[in-house]
Structure 1
Amino acid sequence: MADDLVSLQVKQSGPVAEVTLLGPGKGNSMGPDFWRELPLVFRELDTDPAVRAIVLTGSGRNFSYGLDLPAMMGGWAELIGGEALAGPRSRFLDEIRRLQASVTAVAECRKPVIAAVSGWCIGGGVDLIAAADVRLASADAKFSVREVKVAIVADIGSLQRLSGIIGEGHLRELAFTGKDIDAARAEKIGLVNDVHPDQEAVLAAARSLAEDIAKNPPLVVQGVKDVLDHDRAPRVADGLRYVSTWNAAFLPSKDLAEAVQAFLARRDPDFTGE
């Protein structure tokens, strides 16, 4: 499988697998290849008895700019403008749930996943690291739950998973404002466990942590993860179904069309609440 991948690279060193985001979009943005390949990779790692822990990181200077909006927008065309009927909305609901399932494959992987984040981690990038078990950052890392700025309710997992990581107050602040936060703030609110000087250092720390985990009895480690997820997983699944239904009903709007046009024209949007 690894030889056929376009958006991800998988390498293994002993019991530790390393998954690297490759793009191919700028800033490892998440296009069609990413959403197709992510669940395949993590389901294979889940069933590989030689893998005991996983490091997840990004190539280049940035972890991920998030959703590749131009590449993904083609499937949304019939929704933009706010007059889509039941057929287009049903197809969009299926698409949201497909993207959700891609990230959920990371959370459901029985092997602990450590995210090593450098540079920008935006939107879908935050969805992805929220599905990891542990998050580490370099000093230059920046995070943003930015969907609100493009007239979208975040629907791939941040709103469901981050409350248990950073708490309701911090989550609501990030999700309502779409603001950027730096690595120091991310550490303060618990989004990341530790901050390291640079990309090389954070990747070394993630590998070291993965190796420490891999030294422990693998079935016990998997059992610990299963028990920790027992209460959270059903709540997250219910929240994902709710937000996918909500977005299929309410996301089509003039504000969404304005957000897309402003993004493509590289200007500030003018939202009217329509």
Structure 2
Amino acid sequence: MTENLVSMKVDVADHVAEVTLLGPGKGNAMGPDFWRELPDVFKRIDADPEARAVVLTGGGAHFSYGLDLPAMMPEWGGLLGADSLAGPRTRFLDDIRRMQDGITAVAACRKPVIAAVSGWCIGGGVDLITAADVRLAGADAKFSVREVKVAIVADMGSLQRLVGIVGEGHLRELALTGKDIDAERALRIGLVNGVYPDQAALVDAARAMAAEIAANPPLVVQGTKDVLNLERERRVADGLRYVSTWNAAFLPSRDLGEAVGAFLERRPPKFKGE
């Protein structure tokens, strides 16, 4: 079975669901279509008895450039204005939590998810792969928790989930600097389980791992994932609720406007702490 949506394609064969990000933004950037379709796709996979494991990958050279700011800004309208009152900020809080629910649908899917990352994986892309059970990378993969560089506190799950993957010290370095790391560093710190020479070898490895999982008793696999998720789900849920409230209150700023303007004008931003 193959299903083509706007932002992703879903294939199910031999008990493995393969979800391929399609954009439509450059580098599979995450715009309104992505945030609308993501939770529905993973809820359907969760309910599909034919799917026992999932491969999540990016179409083209890159996994994802992360949040598609230009595409999202018209949807948010005046919600990010520094002088916006309680009504707009409440609507923005609802938007943040709706987007968080999309990433959480990946983590909550009872079928184990293997993320196969080629090229860039930035911001929201890192949020997405931290919700997967296993991450594999191509030799060309690069990762960045880049929100700090665009005047945003990362609020889709990286700050909550990465601590259990790479540890406190590495998480703080990545989140506070916004630096890029390559596949070798990602392997060294435990962000990925393996690095493969090219995209074809990477996807083959992810499919092979998914097939190995799918060959095990499906209810036992689901039960194992459920037990592994127990402590993390509680901690992550508390953290997501806190950061969504924080950003609804403090994200609107002149620095955010400067970050968006600099991005659109292709120039370095000049932040003033306002």
Common fold by TM > 0.5: yes
Residue identity in the other structure for 2:141: A
Residue identity in the other structure for 1:173: E
Residue identity in the other structure for 2:143: F
Counterpart CA distance in 1 for 2:19 and 2:69 is 23
> Where has structure 1 moved over 4 Å in runs of 4 or more?
1-4
Is 1:166 matched with 2:166? yes
Contact kept? 1:80, 1:254, Cα under 8 Å: no
Residue identity in the other structure for 2:168: E
Q: CA deviation at 1:78?
A: 1.4
Counterpart CA distance in 1 for 2:39 and 2:249 is 26
Correspondence for 2:222: 222
Partner SS, residue 132 of structure 1 = coil
Residue identity in the other structure for 1:226: D
Correspondence for 1:104: 104
TM-score (ref. length: structure 2): 0.98
* CA-to-aligned-CA distance 1:24-63 (integer Å, 9 cap, x gap): 1110011111101111110000011111100000000000
Contact kept? 1:130, 1:161, Cα under 8 Å: yes
Between the two proteins, what is the percent identity of the paired residues? 74
Residue identity in the other structure for 2:19: V
Residue identity in the other structure for 1:49: P
Residue identity in the other structure for 2:156: I
Unaligned 5+ runs, structure 2? none
* CA-to-aligned-CA distance 1:52-101 (integer Å, 9 cap, x gap): 10000000000000011100012333144411110110000000000000
Counterpart CA distance in 1 for 2:184 and 2:224 is 29
Correspondence for 1:144: 144
Partner SS, residue 65 of structure 1 = coil
Partner SS, residue 78 of structure 2 = coil
Residue identity in the other structure for 1:181: I
Contact kept? 1:65, 1:122, Cα under 8 Å: yes
Contact kept? 2:22, 2:59, Cα under 8 Å: yes
Contact kept? 2:4, 2:10, Cα under 8 Å: no
Correspondence for 1:11: 11
Superposition RMSD in Å:
1.1
* CA-to-aligned-CA distance 1:196-228 (integer Å, 9 cap, x gap): 001000100000000000111000000000000
The number of aligned residues is 274
Correspondence for 2:195: 195
Q: CA deviation at 1:137?
A: 0.1
Partner SS, residue 55 of structure 1 = strand
> Which region of structure 1 is more displaced relative to structure 2, 64-73 or 80-89?
80-89
Unaligned 5+ runs, structure 1? none
Is 1:30 matched with 2:30? yes
Correspondence for 2:209: 209
Is 1:244 matched with 2:248? no
Residues 155 and 94 from structure 1, CA distance in 2 versus in 1: closer, same or farther, beyond 3 angstroms?
same
Contact kept? 1:143, 1:182, Cα under 8 Å: yes
Counterpart CA distance in 2 for 1:17 and 1:6 is 17
Residue identity in the other structure for 1:188: R
Correspondence for 1:185: 185
